[in-house]
Amino acid sequence: QVQLVESGGGLVQAGGSLRLSCAASGRFFSSCGVGWFRLAPGKEREFVAGISRAGVETRYADSMKGRFTISRDNAENTVYLQMNSLKPEDTAVYYCAATVQRIVTETSILDYWGQGTQVTVSS
C-alpha cells in the first residue's frame, strides 16, 4: 500500500514558479512509477508529467514541456514537480498518482492517488 500527500500549491502570478511535492509512505514507493495530473473546473483530468521507478525516464504533456520538470528522490520517498513560467491556464488542482508499472504515462492505470493541492495562477 502506498499513501501519497501533495504539498506546495498556492497562489502565484503569471510567469512565476512553484514546486509541488508528493510525499509517499509505504515500503514499495521506489517500485512505483509516479506522475502528476491536474483537474481544472469544467475540464477533464489532464496528464501533466510522469517519471519512472528509478527516475531515469520522464514523460510530459506537450503543453508542459520546457516549463515543468518532474523528479524524484527515492531515499526521501518524494516526487517533485517544478513549475516555471506559469500561466493562468495552469490553474487547477494537481494530483500525484502512482502505479505499480514502470512509469506513469498519459494512459496509465493508476493504483494510488493523493488528495490534491490547489495551484492558482493570477494574470
Which pLDDT value is given to residue 55?
95
Contact 20, 36 (CB under 8 A): yes
Q: Which residue has the cell 510530459?
A: 60
Whether residue 7 contacts residue 117, with contact meaning beta carbons closer than 8 Å, is answered with yes
pLDDT digit of tens for each residue in the chain (123 aa)? 789 999 999 999 999 999 999 999 987 888 999 999 999 999 999 999 999 999 999 999 999 999 999 999 999 999 999 999 999 999 999 999 999 999 999 999 999 999 999 999 999
| Beta strands across the sheet bearing 78-83 | 3-7, 18-25, 78-83, 68-73
- Rounded to whole angstroms, how far apart are CA atoms 59 and 21? 17
Residue 58's pLDDT is what? 97
